[in-house]
Amino acid sequence: MARWDAILSLPVQNPPTLEISSDELVWSKVEGWHDKLDRVALIPFARVDDFVRGESNNKECPTRFHVEARRRRSPSTPLKQKVDGILEYILYWCSFGPDDHRKGGVVRPSRTTYVPKKKNAGRPNTKRGCTCRFIVKRLIAEPSVALIIYNNDKHVDKQGLPCHGPQDKKAAGTRAEFAPYISEDLRLRVLSLLYVGVSVETIMERHNESVKKQGGPCNRDDLLTHRYVRRQERAIRRSTYELDSDDSVSINMWVESHQSNVFFYEDFSDSDPFILGIQTEWQLQQMIRFGNRGLVASDSRFGTNKLKYPVHSLLVFNSDKKAIPVAWIITPKFSCLDAHRWMRALYNRVHTKDPTWKLAGFVVDDPQYDVLAIRDVFQCSVLISFWRVRHLWHKNITKRLETGMQIKISKRLGCIMDKISRSQGTMSLFDDFVEDFIDESNFMDYFKATWYPRMGAWVDALRTLPLSSQESCAAIELYHNQLKIRLLNEKDINVYQRADWLVDKLGTKVHSYFWLDECSDKDDFARYWKNEWMSGLTSWRKALKIPDTNVLMEDGCAKVEDGDEQDKAYIVSNPGSMLSICDCCWAKDGNLCEHILKVLSFCRSRGSVLPSISLLQYRQALNTILHCPPFDSLIRDHAVSLAVSVQKQLNTLLDKESIQTAVEPNEKRIVIDIHPESSRVVSAAQDQALVCERHVVDDILSWDDDGRAVCGTSNITGQGVDHGNTRNGK
Ligand SMILES: [Zn+2]
Ligand SMILES: [Zn+2]
C-alpha cells in the first residue's frame, strides 16, 4: 500500500503547452510492477490526448501511438474498496509494434491471419516489433487525474535494437525511417485544400515539386502518397450533410460523430431551445494562442435573415490583427445572446489545456448580451463594439438617400453617437434628429422602425461600457464579409433552412478557408484561388500604409489618393467623423474603408477632431486608478515603500544640486505625504492630471517587440480599460 500512497502524493503536472511530451514531465520511479522500476507521472485526465500527441511528435523518433487495449469499468459493477481500483485502463503502443512483420519477426498468435502482401508498396514495414508503450490509468480515488506508467520509452524491438527511426539502418528511405503516418498538420492541409476545391493532381504536383527541390524525402510528410490524397478526396465527395431527412435527427447524428468538435450541446427541452457550440482542435489552439492576454470578440448575428439559425461567431485577432473564428454557436435567433448557457463549457475547455490562460477583454456587439455571465466566467473587461450599427446605418444611408442628404444625415448621426459615447448626450438627441429629418422618409421610416426602439439600450451600453477600437471594428467587419462569401454561396438556397447543412459547411469548407488563411504555404496554390479564398489586410492595416502626403483637405472634404493606383483618388465627406462617407465601392456597401480610417487618423493627429473615444476612456480609467487607493494591503505597502525610496533618491539628487547652485534646500525638497489612516500615497507631482497625461503619452509611444501598441487605446491588443466598470459590475 505504501506504493499507492507514494503515487497518490505525486503532483499533478499540467504544463501550459498545446502538447505534452515526456521530456516536459518529471518522472518518478515506483517499485513493484513486474519487479522492475516503471516511470510514473500524473497529469489531468483531460490532457491524455495532448500527451499522446506529444509522444507521437517525438523529435528524435516521430511515430504514432495507438490504443492496443482498453478496459472500462462498467457503471453497474460495484465499486471496489481498493485504493488501486481503476475506472479506466488504456494501453498505448507505438504503431511500429507490437507485432513484427519483418523477415523472421514474431507475430502474436491471435494476429496470424495477417498475410504479408507480395509487394510492400502499400504499407511498407508498418509493424516492426517495437516495444515502446505506456499505460494510462484513471483511478477511482482521483477520476480527474491520469496516472501514466511508462513501461518502455525506447523505440526498440525485443532484442533491444532500434527497429525504426533514424537509428534503424534497415529502415532508411522507407516510411519506417520517419513515422507511420503523415503529421496532423499535413493531414489538415490536404483536407483543407480538397475542401476548397483544389484537385488531387494539383496537390500532388505541388508536393512532389517541393520534395524534389529539397533533394528527396527527409521527413514523414515528404512521403505523402497520391493514393492517400485520392482516398480523402473520395471520402469527401461521397459524404453528405443530410444524415437523415429529419433535420433534428440529422443534427443529433452529426453531434454524435463529431464529439471532439462540440464543446456544448443541448437539444430542445420544455424550457430551453436547442443550442450547439462548435470548436475544432485547431480553433481551440488559436483561442489559446491569440486569446491569452488578448481579446475575444463576438459577431452574434450572422445570417439572421437568410439562415434557419443565425451563426454566432467568437473571434480572436492574429498577429496581423485579423479576426479568426475560434468557436461557432448555433441557436435560434431569440436565444443567441443567452451566453451563460455555453460560456462556462468553453472556458473550461480552454482552461483544461492551459490553466494559466486569461482573457484581457471580451468585445460584445449587442447591448442585450449577457455581460454579467462574461464577467463571471472570464473575469475580464467587457467592451462594446458599434460596428454592426455603424455598418447598417452607413449601408442604408448610401442606399436610400441622395448624395447631399447622405452627407447631412451621416454627419448628424456621427455627432450624436460621439456625444453619447463621451457621456455628453442622451436619447433626446435622437428625438431631435427624427424631427429635423422627418421629410427624408426613405431613410427615416427605416430608422424609426428598426433603430429608434433599440437606441435606448444602445445609449445605456455606450455610456457604461468602454468602446472597442476602430481597428477591431475593421477586423470584425472583414470577418463578417468573408463569412458571407464563404458560407452563403449555395445555388440551392433551400439548404439555408437546414441546420445540418450549416454545421457541416462550417466544419468543412468554411473552416478550411480560415485554416488556409493562416497557412504560410497557401501561396503555392495562388493560381487556384477563388473569390472565397481571397483575403487581404483589414482596412485598418491598409490605412496605415497610406502616407499622409496622399491626403488632401479641401472644401470640408478629404481627397485620398489610392496607394496602388496613384492617379485614382477618393472623396471622403464628413472627414474625421464616426460616419464618414467615401465614394469607393467598399464603403458604398456600408464598410469602413481604408480611406475613411486614414482620414480619421489624419484629422486626429492634426488635432482638427477630438481624440478617439477609446483614448478618452483610457484616460478616464487611468484617472480612476490614480484617485483610488489600492485595496490590497501588499500592493499598498509596496507602493508606499516605493514612494519613500523615490523620495530619498530625489532628495539626495536635489541636495547635491542645491549645494552647487546655493539655493535654499527646502525650496526644492520633495515631500511625500503618507496618511496612515487612508494609506493614500500622494506623490510630489500633485497635479495628477499631468501625471495621467504623461502616462498616456508614454504608453501610446511604447511598443513591444511585436510592434503592438502596449496601451489601452489600441485595445485590440487586449489591454482593456474597463477596470472601473468591472469592479462596479460585481
Ligand atoms: Zn516505436
Ligand atoms: Zn473608401
User: What separation in angstroms does the CA of 297 have from each of 148, 202, 269, 364?
Assistant: 38, 37, 29, 6
Q: How far is the CA of 153 from the centre of ligand 1 (A)?
A: 9
**pLDDT score recorded for residue 113:** 60
For all residues of the chain together, what is the average pLDDT?
82
Distance 443 CA to ligand 1 centre (A): 70
The reply to whether 553 and 633 lie within a common domain is: no
pLDDT of residue 687: 40
Q: Is residue 50 part of a domain?
A: yes
Predicted pLDDT at 460: 93
What's the CA-to-centroid distance between 583 and ligand 2, angstroms? 6
- 302-360 residue pLDDT tens: 998 899 999 999 999 999 899 999 999 999 887 767 888 899 999 999 998 888 899 99
Interior angle at CA 542, CA 289 and CA 479, nearest 5: 50
Q: What b/e sequence results for 640-675 when a residue is b if at least 16 CB atoms lie within 10 Å of its CB, and e otherwise?
A: beebeeebeeebeebeeebeeeeeeeeeeebebeee
How many folded domains does the chain comprise?
Answer: 6
**Per-residue model confidence as pLDDT tens digits over 620-632:** 877 777 777 666 7
Classify residue 289 by its DSSP letter: H
Residue 351: all three cell numbers together: 482552461
In angstroms and rounded to an integer, the radius of gyration of the C-alpha atoms of the chain is 31
Do 438 and 498 fall into the same domain?
Answer: no
Give 230 Cα–ligand 1 centroid separation in angstroms: 28
Q: Which ligand is nearest to the CA of 62?
A: 1
Q: Is 50 exceeded by the pLDDT of residue 710?
A: no
Q: How far is the CA of 607 from the centre of ligand 2 (A)?
A: 22
Q: From the CA of 596, how far away is ligand 2's center (Å)?
A: 6
Dist. CA 499 → ligand 1 center (Å): 44
Q: pLDDT at residue 705 above 50?
A: no
Domain final residue, candidates 559, 580, 605: 605
Q: SS3 of 513, please? A: helix
Return the closest-CA partner of residue 649 out of 665, 669, 674, 634: 669
Burial of 93 (0-12, 13-18, 19+ CB in 10 A): buried
| 258 CA from centroid of ligand 1 (Å) | 29
Q: In this model, does residue 582 exceed pLDDT 60?
A: yes
| Model pLDDT, residue 192 | 93
Residue 28 is predicted with a pLDDT of: 87
H/E run at residue 444 = helix 441-446
Per-residue pLDDT at 668: 52
Clarify whether residues 393 and 455 are in a common domain: yes
- Alpha carbons 145 and 17: distance in angstroms, whole number: 18
552 domain residue, yes or no? yes
* CA of 400 relative to ligand 2 center, distance in Å: 19
How many A from CA of 565 to the centre of ligand 2? Answer: 13
For residue 398, give the ligand nearest its CA: 2
- Reply yes or no on whether the pLDDT at 65 is more than 80: yes
pLDDT in tens, 324-337: 999 999 998 877 67
Q: Are strands 569-573 and 581-582 parallel, antiparallel or unpaired?
A: antiparallel
Do 402 and 483 share a structural domain? no
Instruction: Say which ligand is closest to the CA of 590.
Output: 2
Q: Which residues pair with 277 in a beta bridge?
A: 264, 329
Q: How far is the CA of 521 from the centre of ligand 2 (A)?
A: 31
pLDDT at 205: 92
The model carries a pTM of 0.79
551 CA from centroid of ligand 2 (Å): 12
What's the mean pLDDT in 555-581? 86
CA of 64 to the centre of ligand 1 (A): 8
Does position 706 have pLDDT exceeding 50, yes or no?
no
Query: Ligand 2 mean position to 34 CA, how many Å?
Result: 74
On whether residue 509 sits in a domain, the answer given is: yes
Q: Using H for helix, E for strand and C for coil, what is the string for 633-677?
A: HHHHHHHHHHHHHHHHHHHHHHHHHHHHHCCCHHHHCCCCEECCC
Mean pLDDT along residues 14-32: 85
User: Quick one: 366 and 441 in the same domain?
Assistant: no
Residue 582 CA to ligand 2 centre (angstroms): 5
Q: What nine digits make up the cell of 274? A: 436547442
Set of cell numbers at residue 663: 539655493
Query: pLDDT-based confidence at 658, cuts 50/70/90?
Result: low
Per-residue pLDDT tens for 384-397? 999 999 999 999 99
Cα 455 to middle of ligand 2, angstroms: 27
Distance of CA 83 to the CA centre of its chain: 41
How confident is the model at residue 347, as a pLDDT? 96
Q: How far, in Å, from the CA of 119 to the mean position of ligand 1?
A: 23
Ligand nearest to the CA of 168: 1
**Ligand 2 center from residue 570 Cα (angstroms):** 6
pLDDT at 568 exceeding the cut of 60: yes
In this model, does residue 671 exceed pLDDT 90?
Answer: no
Number of the ligand closest to the Cα of 153: 1
Task: Determine the pLDDT at residue 109.
Answer: 67
**Ligand approaching nearest to the C-alpha of 176:** 1
Query: Is the C-alpha dihedral spanning 385, 387, 392, 394 positive or negative?
Result: positive
Torsional sign, CA 331, 336, 341, 347: positive
Q: Which set of grid coordinates corresponds to residue 73?
A: 469499468
The label of the residue with cell 521530456 reads 23
- Overall average pLDDT of the 49-74 stretch: 88
- State mean pLDDT over 263-290: 91
The predicted pLDDT at position 444 comes to 95
Predicted confidence (pLDDT) at residue 721 exceeds the cutoff of 60? no
Q: Looking at the predicted structure, is the pLDDT value of residue 124 above 90? A: no
Question: What is the reported pLDDT for 431?
Answer: 94
Q: Give the three-state DSSP class for 449.
A: helix
- Tell me the average pLDDT across 418-436: 92
pLDDT, residue 264, reads 95
Question: 163 CA distance to ligand 2 centroid (A)?
Answer: 63
- Do 84 and 15 share a structural domain? yes
With a CB cutoff of 8 Å and minimum separation 6, the contacts of 690 are none
What is the CA 706 to chain-centroid distance, rounded?
Answer: 18
Segment 632-642 mean pLDDT: 76
322 CA distance to ligand 2 centroid (A)? 19
- For residue 678, the CA-to-ligand 2 centroid distance in Å is 54
Q: Are residues 326 and 264 in the same domain?
A: yes
Residue that has been written with the C-alpha cell 491471435 in this structure: 110
- Going from the Cα of 144 to the center of ligand 1, the distance in angstroms, rounded, reads 29
Band the pLDDT of 193: cuts 50, 70, 90.
very high
Q: Tell me the mean pLDDT in the region 140-150.
A: 89
pLDDT of residue 701: 35
pLDDT, greater one: 177 or 468: 468
Q: What is the DSSP letter of 99?
A: S
| Residue 82: predicted pLDDT | 66
Q: What is the pLDDT of residues 595-612, one digit of tens each?
A: 999 999 999 888 888 888
Final residue belonging to a domain, choices 464, 494, 523: 464
Same domain, yes or no, for 207 and 326? no
Give the ligand at the shortest distance from the Cα of 571. 2
Q: Is residue 527 part of a domain?
A: no
Residues 166 and 64 in one domain: yes
- Residues across the chain: 730
Compute how many other C-beta atoms are within 10 angstroms of the C-beta atom of residue 181.
Answer: 19
pLDDT of 578 = 81
Q: Of the bound ligands, which one is closest to the alpha carbon of residue 597?
A: 2
- Tell me how far the alpha carbon of residue 593 lies from the centroid of ligand 2, in angstroms: 5
Q: How far is the CA of 597 from the centre of ligand 2 (A)?
A: 9
- Closest ligand relative to 599 C-alpha: 2
Question: What SS3 class is residue 620?
Answer: helix
Residue pLDDT, tens place only, 31-60: 665 556 678 999 999 899 999 999 988 888
Q: Which of 520-534, 539-553, 676-690 has the lowest mean pLDDT?
A: 676-690
Phi first, then psi: give them for residue 93, nearest 5 degrees.
-130, 145
Residue 510 has a CB neighbour count (10 Å cut-off) of: 22
**Is the Cβ–Cβ distance between 293 and 380 less than 8 Å?**
no
The reply to whether 630 and 711 lie within a common domain is: yes
Ligand positioned closest to the Cα atom of 61: 1
CB 127 within 8 A of CB 100: yes
Q: Are 410 and 579 in contact (CB under 8 A)?
A: yes
Confidence of residue 255 (pLDDT cuts 50, 70, 90): very high
Instruction: Please determine, for residue 691, whether its predicted confidence score (pLDDT) is greater than 60.
Output: no
- 632 Cα–ligand 1 center, Å: 54
User: Backbone dihedral region of 210: left (phi > 0), alpha (psi from -120 to 50 degrees) or beta?
Assistant: alpha
The amino acid at residue 298 is S
Whole domain around residue 311: which residue ranges?
A: 247-385+468-515
Q: How far is the CA of 320 from the centre of ligand 2 (A)?
A: 21
The predicted model gives 446-468 an average pLDDT of 93
pLDDT on residue 83: 64
**Residue 532 in domain:** no
Tell me, yes or no, whether 360 and 271 share the same domain: yes
Ligand 1 centre to CA of 165 (Å) is 8
pLDDT-derived band at 80, boundaries 50, 70, 90: low
Q: Could you say which ligand is closest to the alpha carbon of residue 165?
A: 1
Q: Kindly identify the ligand whose nearest atom is closest to the C-alpha of 134.
A: 1
Q: 649 in a domain, yes or no?
A: yes
Residue 624 belongs to some domain of the structure = yes
Average pLDDT over residues 97-122: 65
- Closest-approaching ligand to the CA atom of 56: 1
Q: Does residue 539 lie in a domain region?
A: no
Strand boundaries in 303-428, DSSP class E: 311-317, 323-330, 361-364, 381-384
| Domain end residue (candidates: 122, 143, 172) | 172
Task: Report how far ligand 2's centroid is from the alpha carbon of 36 (Å).
Answer: 73
Backbone angle region of 215, left / alpha / beta, with phi > 0 → left and psi within -120 to 50 → alpha: left
Residue 465 to residue 725: CA distance in whole angstroms: 7
Judgement on whether residues 86 and 137 belong to the same structural domain of the protein: yes
Question: How many Å lie between the centroid of ligand 1 and the Cα of residue 66?
Answer: 11
